[in-house]
């Protein structure tokens, strides 16, 4: 131990504590991008990857996977939103197109964004989307109804134990409103 005054010891401890606080603060900021990278790589938390951009696969005909579809609105999203098919059966590698129906029942325009997730979590890395409405914002005029397509396949390397997976979308209101007088419009 050093022979130091109580004031010097206090200053040394305060400096170390400040260093720990700064380190914790930096680690907190690094957690979000680190979590996203880990989820993208492992499929953790059912997070799906973005658009699949390689050559289309060759189907494995001797195996079938059931893909179920679900839809839910986040709090504050008033659209009617549901899958047109509750489920489909596909062979790994088989490209399939399904769609979800969305309708804006409001008297004003809105913009929605769908966020996908897959269950079981392990299956997320094997669901490959070639095209998806979730890749873009979805603006709908008052009363407008659309069918929004997903073109996907299940990777042929999916483990044998996975015979069913669920693709679920949560729809969020991301409308940026402009208010002028009594009129509300979406920008």
Give the chain's domain count: 2
Residue range 41-97, pLDDT digits in tens: 555 555 555 555 565 666 667 899 999 999 999 998 999 999 999 999 999 999 999
Whether 120 shows a pLDDT value over 90: the answer reads: yes
List, for residues 2-12, the tens digit of each pLDDT value: 678 888 889 99
Round to whole Å and give the CA distance between 97 and 118: 17
138 and 91 in one domain?
yes
Phi, psi of 119 (to 5 degrees): -125, 140
Q: Global pTM?
A: 0.66
Whether residue 65 sits in one domain with residue 11: no
Q: Are residues 95 and 154 in the same domain?
A: yes
Answer whether residue 71 is part of any domain.
Answer: yes
Q: Confidence band (pLDDT; 50, 70, 90) for 179?
A: very low
Domain that holds residue 18: 6-42
User: How far apart (Å, rounded) are the C-alpha atoms in residues 50 and 97?
Assistant: 17
Residue among 128, 62, 47, 46 at smallest CA distance from 95: 128
121 and 38 co-located in one domain:
no
**64 and 35 in one domain?**
no
- Position 73 scores a pLDDT of 95
């Amino acid at each position: 131990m050093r022979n130091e005054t109580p004031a010097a010891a206090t200053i040394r401890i305060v400096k170390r504590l400040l260093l720990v606080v700064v380190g914790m603060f930096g680690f907190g900021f690094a957690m979000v991008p680190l979590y996203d990278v880990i989820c993208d790589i492992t499929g953790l938390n059912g997070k799906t990857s973005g658009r699949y951009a390689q050559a289309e696969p060759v189907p494995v005909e001797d195996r079938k996977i059931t893909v179920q579809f679900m839809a839910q609105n986040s709090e504050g999203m008033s659209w009617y939103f549901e899958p047109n098919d509750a489920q489909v059966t596909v062979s790994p590698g088989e490209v399939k197109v399904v769609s979800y129906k969305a309708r804006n029942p409001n008297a004003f325009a809105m913009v929605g964004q769908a966020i996908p997730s897959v269950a079981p979590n392990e299956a997320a890395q094997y669901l490959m989307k070639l095209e998806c409405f979730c890749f873009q914002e979805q603006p709908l005029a008052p009363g407008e109804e659309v069918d929004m397509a997903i073109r996907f396949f299940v990777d042929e390397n999916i483990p044998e134990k996975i015979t069913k997976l669920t693709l679920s979308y949560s729809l969020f209101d991301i409308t940026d409103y402009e208010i002028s007088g009594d009129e509300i419009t979406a920008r």
